[in-house]
Amino acid sequence: MNGEDKILVCTHATLRFAFESEDLDVESFNDSVLAIDEFHHVSVSENSRLGDLLHNVMRNSNVQIIAMTGSYFRGDAVPILTPEDEAEFDKVTYTYYEQLNGYTYLETLGIGYHFYQGSYLDDGALDAVLDTTKKTIIHIPNVNSKEATQVGKHEEVQKVYDIIGEWESQDSETGLELVIDKDGVTRKVANLVDDDPTHRAKITKYLSEVAREDIDGVDIIVALGMAKEGFDWPWCEQALTIGYRASLTEIVQIIGRCTRDSYNKTHAQFTNLIVMPNGTSDDIQISVNNMLKAITASLLMEQVLAPNFTFTPRTSPDQKAKAGEVFVKGLKKPPTERVKHILATELEDLTAAVLQDTQVQRAAANGHTGEYMKHLQSKIIREKLPGLSDEEVEVTRQYLASNLAFKTAKITEDGNKKFITMANSFVNLDELSIDLIDSINPFQRAFEVISKK
């Protein structure tokens, strides 16, 4: 930088090195804007150099910080920011619902789970969901995961090729492999599992320079740890992921690979293949637990996708609702400006935190609602938003409970009346009350799905 430059684009690593330089102090960045993409790489861990950098900048400079991420979650249990640092930011949530509404071509996004028994390679599981006519990314399972076949990652790729069709040849210049599918059409396949340096260099160069610009450049990508975060292939129509993914961030990143707007698609599809319960009681317990987590992640994604509702205390039977507004009897009004701000900016994050919480999940699995569930919800609010009074916590909790109920509810119309189905309750929307909402198990639908054959 020569003192006249206005914009600098760099990697996270370069940013860290810049702030660690002895010739550069934090104040040198005063009166500038620091925009950090993929912000979920920040953490409060003492080993996070990016987290230390950010905390230092916030405390010792007047830098304007813009934090951007496709998913405000990490793959571990470490928070991204402390509650005190997080409170310094104004939050803007841009949902998939809003994103799709702004697109020209892509209209719908499907998120599904396909359960199978045995091996995903041998019992037709992958074959059942793979459509070779669509531009596809296939993520095979980690070699140490329960879903891995134990034959080795390279051998698994060859078996995936067998499911696609018949391997024909490999282009020595690009690294692409040609596979004739079962319709007799030659498909160009990029193997990102092969970590040979020469092959990896060829194929990544081709994908970045040719395939992202030419729709006919590649048809199918087979990957393990790559083609997730930051990978740009706008033609992708479907993402097939084998195995339960512990990180919601990873799920969101993979889904993002197929949600670019492109003229070749009106629908994008993410499908997660998960092994069904089979074998000993221990295996069944692990598998059911994995399915529950996967469906919980699905519920989380639904809250990202769905239009947001606005909840308002019902004070009169003659109240007229605006679009997206729901009246709730017994719902308290926000008592302070801070609660109003929380309801406007933090409600979705709190909803996600409750759905992810293992103690809440266990309580729901055991049929707990009412006071115990209210206690757990209040506990999460206090942890995420320290310093609230008991009244502020309870009012926030009521709106949180309402949001949870509506994320897993179905609204129907009959004449001039609207009805809502929450778990096993069918209620006239005009009669909705906070007491009823607190009696609902927000995971009921997930349990109903799991109980089906």
How do residues 375-399 score in pLDDT, each as one tens digit? Answer: 999 999 998 888 899 999 999 999 9
Whether 243 and 121 have beta carbons less than 8 Å apart is answered as: no
Q: Cα angle at 167 between 161 and 171, to 5 degrees?
A: 110
Query: What is the model's pTM?
Result: 0.64
CB 314 within 8 A of CB 417: no
What is the per-residue pLDDT for 77? 62
287 by DSSP, 3-state: which?
Answer: helix
By percentage, how much of the chain surpasses pLDDT 70?
A: 84
Who's near 444: CB < 8 A, 6+ residues apart? 364, 408, 422, 423, 424
| Displacement of CA 12 from its chain's centroid (Å) | 22
Residue 220, pLDDT score: 95
Six token digits for residue 205: 């160069």
| pLDDT tens figures, 94-150 | 776 777 788 999 988 888 878 787 888 877 889 889 999 999 999 998 877 777 787
In which order are the strands placed within the sheet that holds 108-116?
Answer: 108-116, 267-275, 238-242, 136-139, 220-223, 186-191, 177-181, 165-170
**Sequence-distant (≥ 6) Cβ neighbours of residue 394 within 8 angstroms:** 332, 378
Domain boundaries, the chain: 12-86, 96-301, 308-451
HSE-up (13 A, CA, CB side) for residue 43: 12
Q: Average pLDDT for residues 336-356, to the nearest whole number?
A: 85
pLDDT at 65 over 60: yes
pLDDT tens profile 271-286: 988 877 655 666 666 6
Give CA–CA dist 347/363, Å, rounded.
21
Q: Which helix (H) or strand (E) holds 155?
A: helix 153-164
Give the mean model confidence (pLDDT) for residues 333-346: 90
Mean pLDDT, the chain, as a whole number?
A: 82
Which SS3 state, helix, strand or coil, does residue 407 take? helix
What does the pLDDT average to over 353-376?
A: 80
> What CATH fold (topology level) applies to the domain 96-301?
Rossmann fold (3.40.50)
Burial class, 115, CB count within 10 angstroms (exposed 0-12 / middle 13-18 / buried 19+): middle
The alpha helices in 215-333, defined as continuous H runs, are: 248-257, 281-305
Which comes out higher in pLDDT, residue 410 or 384?
384
Residue 453, pLDDT score: 41
